[in-house]
Amino acid sequence: MKDIIVIKCGGSTISELSEAFFQSVVAMQKSGKHPIIVHGGGPAINQLLEKLDIQSEFVDGLRKTTADVLETAEMVLCGKVNKQIVTSLQQANGQAVGLSGCDGNLLQVQAINEEKLGYVGEPTNVNTELLISLMEKQMIPVIAPIGMNEHGTHYNVNADSAAGAIAKELGAEQLVFVTDVDGILKDGQCLEKVTADEIEAFIEDGTIYGGMLPKVRAALNALTETLQSVMIMNGKSTTVGQYGYVSGTTIVKSAVGQSVS
Ligand SMILES: Nc1ncnc2c1ncn2[C@@H]1O[C@H](COP(=O)(O)OP(=O)(O)O)[C@@H](O)[C@H]1O
Ligand SMILES: CC(=O)N[C@@H](CCC(=O)OP(=O)(O)O)C(=O)O
């Protein structure tokens, strides 16, 4: 399927997303493109963990996930955040269907490192047929990043890595990370374009850290012949699609003129 656009909405910005944002996603779909939303929900998970007095910590931008943390994350992502986004799209006259990665075996995963991270999974396979059949019926899939392995064990998946895997497997033409900063910042300035080599250097020197790490890793993993660049942009000022992108950082594999191998 052509014209697939994967939009990852970060938990950092979900509550800031405007009606115009959701209207622009629906307008994009009505103009013949195929948007998919993958969402996070880190701050909302933090809030409930705090209420329940459950401790959690992050390792390189990934939440160490015990059984209690997994249960909480799943409740928040699938029960609360997913339905908020579905509702906002329906209010904008779109037809949205909320799914977690467990529904229809949408996101099959394996543990990254159980000893270090607990129930944190990385995607191994995506049920693209399910997503395509929904999009063919003019539905907008809204995906919560909880995945499942072949034994039916659920895993917490970073939403950036879920979005990257889904974009790659579908051969999407665009992948957009909507977050709470204008893009990749260096010395307070938003960088317009960065290459894989520059990203490695920025990770090394500490310019890129925390929640930006899974974003740039997912972006670099997702780059293919079809998907030559990935955007990071601010949810506060963003509408997508026909209204154009306001500003942000474009991530490319290498400098202009060299294609992805
Ligand atoms: N170089 C960088 N430029 C911009 N943000 C960065 C950078 N390095 C780390 N970050 C952090 O990454 C955060 C975005 O990631 P995260 O909080 O996980 O958001 P989201 O919920 O949208 O995925 C920013 O708010 C900022 O604190
Ligand atoms: C393994 C892991 O880190 N999972 C994330 C899933 C949600 C997420 O990614 O939310 P954001 O997009 O808001 O960061 C978490 O538990 O916070």
Q: Give the ligand at the shortest distance from the Cα of 145.
A: 2
Let me know if residue 21 belongs to a domain: yes
Residue pair 100/88 in contact (Cβ under 8 Å)? The answer is no
Q: How much is the pLDDT for 49?
A: 98
Domain membership of residue 260 (yes or no) is: no
According to the model, what pLDDT value does residue 247 have? 80
Does any domain span residue 32? yes
174 neighbors 231 (Cβ within 8 angstroms): yes
- Nearest alpha carbon to residue 120 among 76, 72, 75, 66: 66
Q: What's residue 204's pLDDT?
A: 97
259 found inside a domain: no
- Considering only CA atoms, which of 66, 52, 71, 61 is closest in space to residue 11? 61
Could you tell me which of 154, 169, 172 has the C-alpha nearest to residue 101?
154
CATH of the domain at 246: 3.40.1160.10
Residue 257 lies in a domain: no
In this structure, the residue with its CA closest to atom 6 of ligand 1 is 212
ipTM: 0.98
Would you please indicate which residues are annotated as catalytic (active-site) residues? 8, 11, 42, 160, 215
Separation of CA 212 and ligand 1 centre (Å): 4
Exposure string for 14-37, b = 16+ CB within 10 A, e = fewer = beebeeebbbbbbbbbeeebbbbb
* pLDDT score at 255: 80
Residue 258 resides in a domain = no
User: What's the number of domains the chain is made of?
Assistant: 1
Domain membership of residue 124 (yes or no) is yes
Q: What distance in angstroms lies between residue 251's CA and the mean position of ligand 1's atoms? A: 15
Q: Is the distance from the beta carbon of residue 211 to the nearest atom of ligand 2 less than 6 Å?
A: yes
Ligand 1 first shell, C-beta below 6 A: 10-13, 40, 42, 179-181, 184-185, 207-212
- CB 39 less than 6 A from any atom of ligand 2: no
Is 41 annotated among the ligand-binding residues? yes
| pLDDT at residue 236, as a whole number | 84
User: Cα(126)–Cα(109) distance, rounded to whole angstroms?
Assistant: 9
Answer whether residue 261 is part of any domain: no
Segments forming the whole domain that contains residue 235: 4-252
Q: For the chain of 261 residues, list the mean pLDDT of each consecutive stretch of 10.
A: 97 94 95 97 98 95 97 98 98 98 98 97 98 98 98 98 98 96 96 97 97 96 94 84 67 71 43
